[in-house]
């Protein structure tokens, strides 16, 4: 019995090591604080995994996953999937949506990367789409690293209407500006991360009776490990 138990434990250990082999990049757990622009809704606090790395050929960037179909070192194209969480609301029964699409990216001089993504709702939640144009870069000062990102997002009428429409108000298409900064600081064998993601909405959303402002802000921090 003892020999069998040792064999099982060793087998589980080998299996666990095999599961870890494809992992690279930063994997962590942290707390998030989401302050939406919905009227009379309290900010949400959540515990969640934060992954900015890869598992095999799949790349994770927080709530977005990509699989590269083709690339030559300067241009690439990927399949994209993401969960839309920042526009959900318990008070107004606005659910998270799972979106699928594709992107094309370009490696620019001076360390910049730009990409254009098309994402369509595949969960039957808002039945709309988003065009997301983003430019970002990673900077490193010794062991400290910083991700800076600026994005412009065109949201279809169906998407905007699902999240901000009411019985008396039907918004049109909207344009959203997104700013994001994520800092990573090494602490012993682990890495502390802190980030902010802020969305600024156009008038069609700001004019909604259930909107209190034109801004949603998400702040998050936690601890992780770089593989």
73: Cβ contacts below 8 Å, ≥ 6 apart? 107
Per residue in 68-91, pLDDT (tens digit) is 999 998 999 999 999 999 999 999
Distance CA 19, CA 24 (A): 12
The pLDDT mean for the chain works out to 90
pTM summary value = 0.89
pLDDT at 4 over 60: no
Distance CA 90, CA 214 (A): 19
- Cα 200 to Cα 32, 87, 214: the distances in Å are 19, 12, 6
Domains of the chain by residue range: 26-226
Residue of 69, 27, 68 whose CA lies nearest to 48? 27
- The helix/strand count (H/E) of the chain reads as 3, 12
Bridge partner list, 138: 147
187: Cβ contacts below 8 Å, ≥ 6 apart? 223
CATH class of 26-226: mainly beta
Q: Any idea which of 147-151, 185-189, 213-217 has the lowest mean pLDDT? A: 185-189
Residue scoring higher pLDDT (60 or 22):
60
Average the pLDDT over 179-185 and give the result.
Answer: 96
pLDDT at 132 over 80: yes
Total Cβ atoms within 10 A of residue 46:
12
- Exposed e or buried b per residue across 149-188, where buried means at least 16 C-beta atoms within 10 angstroms of its C-beta: bebebebbeebbbbbbbeeeeebeebbbebebebbbeeee
Question: Would you place residue 22 in the very low, low, confident or very high pLDDT band (cuts 50, 70, 90)?
Answer: confident
Distance CA 148, CA 183 (A): 9
């Amino acid at each position: 019995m003892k020999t069998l138990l040792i064999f099982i434990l060793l087998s589980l250990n080998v299996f666990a090591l095999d599961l870890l082999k494809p992992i690279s990049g930063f994997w962590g757990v942290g707390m998030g604080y989401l302050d939406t622009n919905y009227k009379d809704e309290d900010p949400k606090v959540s515990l969640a995994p934060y992954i900015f790395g890869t598992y095999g050929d799949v790349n994770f960037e927080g709530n977005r996953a990509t699989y590269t179909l083709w690339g030559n070192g300067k241009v690439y194209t990927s399949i994209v999937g993401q969960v839309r969480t920042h526009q959900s609301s318990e008070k107004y029964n606005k659910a998270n949506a799972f979106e699928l699409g594709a992107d094309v990216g370009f490696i620019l001089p001076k360390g910049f990367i730009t990409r254009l993504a098309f994402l369509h709702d595949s969960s039957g939640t808002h039945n709309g789409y988003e065009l997301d144009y983003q430019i970002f870069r990673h900077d490193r000062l010794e062991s400290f690293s910083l991700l800076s990102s600026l994005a412009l997002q065109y949201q279809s009428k169906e998407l905007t209407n699902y999240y901000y429409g009411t019985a008396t108000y039907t918004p049109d298409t909207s344009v959203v500006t997104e700013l994001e900064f994520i800092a990573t600081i090494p602490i012993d064998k682990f890495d502390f991360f802190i980030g902010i993601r802020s969305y600024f909405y156009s008038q069609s959303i700001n004019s909604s009776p259930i909107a209190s402002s034109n801004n949603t802000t998400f702040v998050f921090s936690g601890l992780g490990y770089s593989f």
